[in-house]
């Protein structure tokens, strides 16, 4: 496994690694001394540490020895999200994928997803594990407002919009489950590493 380390100031190291979730899961299982926070992205993991406890060089030596583990086995949490599949882009997605609308729904609900990382907006989780037949492009013209709870796909990811916002993802349906709620502790329903399944409801 190839790991590239890039120092980020005195308090963090950016790890470039192919299996970000597996690498993060390994660090969660066997925490390294001085590490305070792990922040995953699509292809990188930011490792924040206490410079009073460890150093970039010392931590770097340890990080190079880490081997990814199965992130789905490492995470016991699973969230099932009920979805009404009546999205505005369902027919367009079906056409691009060469499937019927029913087949798109069947493939989307059959997937086993993992929250790979969060970004764009608080609680917006990029869910990996989307069926390759559903890897469709974003809309050529983004919408100015996508309703909260919209279930969408773009590229290799699926997502649930945590709040009403602009966006260019393809809309498959909607859910009533709030994935971001400031009154909940923690507010994020789908933090990185969470396993997710979608279930069709009428």
- Which DSSP string corresponds to 121-162? STT-EEEE---GGG--PPPSS-EEEE-TTEEEEETTEEEE-S
> In 3D, which of 110, 144, 149 has the Cα closest to residue 130?
110
Give the pLDDT mean for 87-96: 96
Read off the tokens for 93. Answer: 């997605």
Q: Does the 4-70 domain belong in CATH 3.30.1360.40?
A: yes
Write down the CATH superfamily of domain 78-200: Cyclophilin-like (2.40.100.10)
Give the pLDDT mean for 94-114: 96
Return the sign of the alpha-carbon dihedral for residues 85, 87, 91, 96: negative
pLDDT in tens, 13-72: 999 988 888 888 888 888 899 999 888 887 888 999 999 999 888 998 999 888 887 655
Query: What confidence category does residue 121 fall into, taking pLDDT thresholds of 50, 70 and 90?
Result: confident
The Cα angle at residue 19 between residues 11 and 111, in degrees rounded to 5: 125
What does the mean pLDDT of the chain come to?
90
State the virtual CA torsion across 111, 117, 119, 125 in degrees, nearest 10.
Answer: 30
Domain regions of the chain by residue span: 4-70, 78-200
Query: What confidence category does residue 76 fall into, taking pLDDT thresholds of 50, 70 and 90?
Result: low
The percent of residues in the chain predicted with pLDDT above 90, rounded, is: 60
- The answer to whether the beta carbons of residues 83 and 151 sit under 8 Å apart is yes
Whole-Å CA distances, 83 to 24, 56, 60, 73, 116: 29, 45, 43, 25, 20
The Cα angle at residue 144 between residues 171 and 122, in degrees rounded to 5: 75
């Amino acid at each position: 496994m190839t790991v590239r380390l890039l120092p980020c100031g005195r308090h963090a190291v950016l790890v470039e690694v192919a299996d970000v979730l597996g690498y993060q899961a390994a660090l969660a299982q066997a925490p390294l001394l001085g590490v305070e926070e792990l922040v995953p992205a699509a292809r990188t993991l930011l490792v924040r540490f206490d410079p009073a406890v460890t150093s970039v060089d010392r931590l770097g030596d340890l990080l190079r020895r880490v081997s990814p583990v199965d992130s789905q086995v490492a995470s016991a949490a699973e969230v099932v999200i009920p979805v009404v599949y009546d999205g505005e882009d369902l027919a367009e997605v079906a056409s691009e994928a060469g499937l019927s609308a029913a087949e798109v729904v069947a493939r989307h609900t059959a997937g086993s997803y993992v929250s790979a990382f969060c970004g764009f907006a608080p609680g917006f989780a990029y869910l990996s594990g989307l069926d390759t037949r559903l890897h469709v492009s974003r809309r050529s013209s983004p919408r100015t407002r996508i309703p909260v709870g919209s279930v969408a796909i773009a590229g290799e990811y699926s997502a649930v919009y945590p709040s009403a916002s602009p966006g260019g993802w393809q809309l498959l349906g909607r859910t009533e489950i709030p994935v971001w709620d400031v009154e909940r502790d923690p507010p994020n329903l789908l933090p990185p590493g969470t396993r997710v399944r979608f279930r069709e409801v009428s």
